[in-house]
Amino acid sequence: MGSIETPPTSEVTIPIIDVSGFLAGDAKATASAALELRNACENQGFLQVIGHSVPVYTQKKFLAAITAFFALPLEEKEKLSQSNSPCYRGYERVGGQKLDELDSDATPDQKEGFSVRPERPLGKFLAGPNQWPEEAVLPGFREAYMEYFWAVHSLSKSMFQLIALSLSLDRTYFDAFAADPDGICLCRAHHYNPTPPDAAGRTRGVGAHTDFGALTLLLQDTVGGLEVLHKRMGTWHAVPPVEGAYVCNIGDLMQCWTNNRYRSTMHRVISPLSQTDRYSCAFFNDGALDMMIEALPGCVPEGEKPAYEPLRVEKHIVERSSMSRSHA
């Protein structure tokens, strides 16, 4: 063999899956969406979801709110710095995170972020209050953010049901994991500045990483820059923006749960992207802290042992959070 083969396009094309029929309860549409999802998760580990339940006006209001937030003076944003928060919530300045797992010399991530989690009493890991700008500073910001948060949270629960069906499990198999009120959910908005020419090709919007949780739903604007790694080829491939769609990807926890059947794929955001600012928002539903993750029924071939020891969600998240200083 020796020579590098050209990958079949299906391996690098990110499928776009319409989930409207599934959400409406149509049996035939559900079966075909589950099959498409299974193919995507077994191959690219990435797909784009359209026909979903998050209203366009909720997305637009949210994007307008985060654009206004990131346009605030740095001193105003720093008042909400994540370093003030015992539970990893609030503002993270440009360079505050470095997710690159491939290149230890990579520049820190050239994005700023704002992280919100469910409001819970302090106590359990990552539980506690969010940090918000004063209403007089940014009227309606908190309301637009939380409206968006719960809309995507609801979509994530539906996507877990579709994942269950795609694995021939009962539809509700992941419900207790995905809907736990103390579950680990994070909604992190990002702003990427346009990159000056001298930094071209040297900086990363977000360094190469896998998401360490279970499921990510990412809303990106139309600027572009998100790329996934084709593991065997070692080549990077764009995830072309589809306005209003959710880029949906499997994280390490789900890869472990499915005994490597569903893939947690390396991805990054390159910069420069264009002369324009870019905005995106990642929603991570990483489930219930107490849950034990063990190879799912049907994911371990006859006569083989599971690839991973049983894993408690909290232990995994604690270990991975301390490695990247934040969530990816």
Ligand X SMILES: O=C(O)CCC(=O)C(=O)O
| Sites of contact with ligand X (CB under 6 A) | 190, 206, 211, 218, 220, 226, 267, 269, 280, 282, 328
Minimum separation from the CB atom of position 194 to ligand X (A): 15
Minimum separation from the CB atom of position 109 to ligand X (A): 9
Nearest CB to Fe ion, comparing residues 261 and 327: 327
Nearest CB to Fe ion, comparing residues 35 and 238: 238
Contact mark string toward Fe ion, 157..196, x via CB under 5 A = ----------------------------------------
Q: Is 191 helix (H, G, I), strand (E, B) or coil?
A: strand
Q: How many CA atoms lie within 13 A of 197 on its CB side?
A: 0
Tokens of residue 265, six digits: 């794929």
* Alpha helices (H) along the chain: 9-12, 20-23, 27-42, 56-70, 74-78, 141-166, 175-178, 252-257, 313-324
Nearest CB to ligand X, comparing residues 190 and 320: 190
- 245 binding partner (options ligand X, Fe ion, none; Cβ < 5 to 8 Å by kind): none
> What is the pairing mode between strands 204-209 and 267-270?
antiparallel
Minimum separation from the CB atom of position 328 to Fe ion (A): 5
> What is the pairing mode between strands 246-250 and 46-50?
antiparallel
- Point out the residue whose Cβ comes nearest to Fe ion: 211
Minimum separation from the CB atom of position 8 to Fe ion (A): 25
- Within 202-231, the residues that bind Fe ion by CB under 5 A are 211
- 14 binding partner (options Fe ion, ligand X, none; Cβ < 5 to 8 Å by kind): none
Nearest CB to ligand X, comparing residues 37 and 247: 247
Q: Which residues are 92's β-sheet partners? A: 113
Strand order in the sheet with 267-270: 204-209, 267-270, 226-230, 235-238
Burial 232-245 (b: 16+ CB within 10 A, else e): eeeeebebebeeeb
Nearest CB to ligand X, comparing residues 52 and 209: 209
- Footprint of Fe ion on this chain (CB under 5 A)? 211, 328
